[in-house]
Amino acid sequence: MMKSDIIIIGAGPGGYETAIYAARNGLSVTIFENRKPGGTCLNEGCIPTKCFCRNAEILDGIKDSAEYGVNDMAYTFDFGQVIERKNRIVAGLIEGVEFLLKNKLITFVKEAASLIDAHSVRSVSGEIYSCDHLIIATGSVSKNLPIPGNNLPGVLTSKEILDIEKVPENLCVIGAGVIGLEFASVFNSFGSKVTVLEYAKEILPNFDADISKRLKQALGKKGIEIVNSAAVEEIRENADRLSVKYGYKGENREVVADTVLMAVGRAANVESLNLDVAGIVYSSKGIVTDDNMETNISRVYAIGDVNGKCMLAHAATFQGRKVIDHILGKENTIRLDIIPSAVFTRPEAAMVGCTEDECKQQGRVYRSKKAMFRANGKALSMGEPEGICKIIADEDGVIIGCHMLGPHTADIIQEISALINRRTTVDELSSMIHAHPTLSEIVQECAREF
C-alpha cells in the first residue's frame, strides 16, 4: 500500500492546481486521473471554446471590414483549420500541466480511483493507496434532457460539438445558459442559422436582469433567434435533419436543424466514486461540504464542480487552495463569496457580487447606477458601442456588485472584483485615475453617477 499526505481524485483545474500548491507547502500528493489532465475546462470547456471565440472574432472583423475602409475582401473559411488550431492549443496546455505535475512530491496515477473507505482508494489496476487527507475533484458531466430522441445522431453535448466536422447550416441550441449562448454566438459568426430554446423566462438566469435582457437584444440583432418559455418535449428524425418539438404558451412548435446542441447544464460527477462505502453525504446537486470544503467525514474534502457550489474553473482552484490552507492551519483570506464570471458571447457579459434582484430578495438597502459604452471613446473607436456597466453599492457606498455587457468586459470585471474584496466605495473608485482612452474608464464613469 502506498501512503501520501493527500490523495486527490481528479486532475482538472481544482485537482492539479491543488496538488501543485500542496507540494509547494511540503505535502506529498497522489493524484488520479483516467483522462488527459486539465479536466473539462482545458479539454472540452473554457480553453477550446475560447479558441472558437477567437475565430468568431476574426470572422466578424472581416465581415465588417468595409466599415474600416477595407473593401471587396474575399476569403474562404476552413473549419478544419479551426479544429486543428484548437487541438494544437489544448495539446500544448496539457503538456504544460503534465510538466507541472512532475514534482518529487507528486505521484500522478493515470487511472481512475474509487473509495475503499474514507482515507484509502483503489485504482483501476487494483493498487491500493492511503492518505491522511482525501480531496475529491472529479468535476461535472453534461446533463441531458430526459426526452424522446435525446440520443439521436446529431444531438450533441458541449464536448462533442467541439469536434464537429463541419459548420451546420441550422443549429438548434437547447438551453440559454453560459454554454448554450457561447456556442450560439460562435456558430452564428461561423455562418449557422441559430435558434436557442430556453425553458426559463430569461436567458442567463443567474445574471442581473438588465444584462440578460440587453444581451438577448444584442444577439437578436446578429440574427440569433432566442425563444424563452420554450418547453422542449421531443426530438425526431426529419429526413436527414432533426425536428425539435417544443411547447410555447400553449402552442405546439418545432425547429428543424442539422445539429442540436444539448446545453441544459452540468451535474456533479459522483458516479463510480463509491461514496456510500465511506459514508460521504451527497445529493443530486453534488457532495455536501462546509465552508472549508470538508464533507461530513473528517479530513475528506470535495472541491470544484463536484460539490455544486460554483461550477467555474477558478472557483475550483481557490477552493482547493482553501482546503490546503485549512489542512496546514494557515490563515486564509480567500473570499469565495466574491467570484467573477463571464460569458464569451459577442458582446461579452460579466458579473461579480450581488445582483439587484438578490438585494431586493434579501431586503438589503442598495443603490445602483449605470454607464453606457456608447459614451466610451475606446469602445466607439473599436466599433463596439453596444454595452452597459451597472454598479451596485450598499447604503455606505461600498461596492457590492458589478454587471457588465460590452467589449472585453470579462477582463474589466476583475478590477471591480478586486475592489469588492477590499471594500472599496464608489467615491474612492471615482477618484482613481484610469488611463485614457481605455474601456476600463467605463467603471469610473459609472462610479461618478452615484
Catalytic residues: 436
* Beta-bridge mates of residue 390: 370, 403
DSSP 229: S
Type of residue found at 202: E
Q: What is the dihedral of CA 440, 445, 449, 450, to 10 degrees?
A: 50
- CA–CA gap between residue 296 and residue 290 (Å, rounded): 8
The residues that bridge with 112 in the sheet, in sequence order, are none
In the Cβ-directed half-sphere of 315, how many Cα atoms lie within 13 Å?
A: 21
- Amino acid 13 reads P
Alpha carbon distance 372, 70 (integer Å): 28
410 close to 430: Cβ distance less than 8 angstroms: no
Residue of 262, 242, 232, 332 whose CA lies nearest to 292: 332
Rounded to the nearest angstrom, the gap between the alpha carbon of residue 197 and the centroid of all alpha carbons in its chain is 20
Give me the phi and psi of 323, to 5 degrees please: -60, -50
Cβ-based neighbour number of residue 216 at 10 Å: 20
Among residues 186, 244, 256, 15, which one has the least CA distance to residue 113? Answer: 15
Between the alpha carbon of residue 266 and those of residues 8, 55, 228, the distances in Å are 21, 26, 20
Closest CA to 261 of 38, 49, 18, 4: 49
Closest Cα to residue 158, out of 261, 20, 228?
261
In 10 A of CB 431, how many CB atoms?
Answer: 10
What is the C-alpha separation between 204 and 198, in angstroms, rounded? 10
Three-state SS for 163-176 is HCCCCCCEEEEECC
- Grid coordinates in use for 28? 506529498
